Chains A and B, each alone.
Chain A
Amino acid sequence: AQSVTQPDIHITVSEGASLELRCNYSYGATPYLFWYVQSPGQGLQLLLKYFSGDTLVQGIKGFEAEFKRSQSSFNLRKPSVHWSDAAEYFCAYFGNEKLTFGTGTRLTIIP
C-alpha cells in the first residue's frame, strides 16, 4: 500500500544546531513530495516540494530536502535551527488526487 512514514515522533535539538527530519515513502511511480509545518493551533504551511529534476530542493525559512530514490527518502534539513522552528512537521505525497500525510515529527528547541 502507498504510504509515507516519519520514524521520529519527537526530536529535541539545541538552538543553533543542525536538524534532519526523516521521511520515507512507499509509492510505485515518481512521487510528488512535500514538507508542511504546523505551529501549535495553526494551519499547515508548505515548506518545500519535490516534483522532478534537481533532487535537492530549497524551501522557505532556510529548510532544504533531498529526494533519494534509492532509499525512498525525502529528508528535511536545516543547518542551524531557531527557537521559532519549534513546531510539528509533516511529510506528505500527492497521489490518487489527494495528499497522504505521515504521522508527523514534533520538534522541540532547547536553549
Chain B
Amino acid sequence: EPEVTQTPSHQVTQMGQEVILRCVPISNHLYFYWYRQILGQKVEFLVSFYNNEISEKSEIFDDQFSVERPDGSNFTLKIRSTKLEDSAMYFCATNSGTYTAYEQYFGPGTRLTVT
C-alpha cells in the first residue's frame, strides 16, 4: 500500500538554526499538509498546500515557516530560525483530491528537538 514517508525521523538542532523537514507524498496525491504535535498535546494544523501554493495556514505558521515542493516530489517544511517552542513532532499528510479528498494519509513524523 502506498504510504507517506518523512525524513529525518529525528532532528536535533540548536536554537536559531534553520531546519528543513522533508516529506514524500503518495505519488498521485494533490493536497499536502503539515501538522505538529507538541509532546502530550493534540495535533495542530500548520499549513495546507495545493497547486504549488499555500491554500490555508494557521496562526502558528508565521514568517519563520515556509513550505515548498522543490522538485515535484518532495514537500518540505522549513523553519528559518528555530525556537525552543518549535520542539514537537511534525507530521506530513496528503490526500488525493478526489471524492475522498478529506481523507488524509499521515507520514510517521519527524521529531524535532530544539536545544
Contacts and interface: CB of A to CB of B under 8 A. Distances in A.
Contact of A101 (B43, B58, B108): B43
B106 A43 contact: yes
Interface string B34-73: 0100000111110010000001101000000000000000
A51 interface: yes
Interface stretch (B13-21, B78-86, B97-105): B97-105
Interface in A30-47: 32, 34, 36, 42-46
B103 A98 contact: no
B42 A103 contact: yes
B69 to A, nearest CB: 17
A99 B108 contact: no
Interface string A65-79: 000000000000000
Nearest to B58: A98
B107 interface: yes
Interface of B is mostly: strand
Nearest to B6: A43
A46 B33 contact: no
B48 to A, nearest CB: 5
Interface of A: 32, 34, 36, 42-46, 49, 51, 90, 92, 94, 96-104
6 closest pairs, A vs B, by CB?
A94-B102, A43-B108, A44-B106, A98-B45, A97-B56, A101-B43
18 contacts: A43-B106, A46-B106, A49-B102, A49-B103, A90-B42, A94-B102, A94-B104, A96-B56, A97-B48, A97-B56, A98-B33, A98-B58, A99-B43, A99-B104, A101-B42, A101-B44, A103-B41, A104-B42
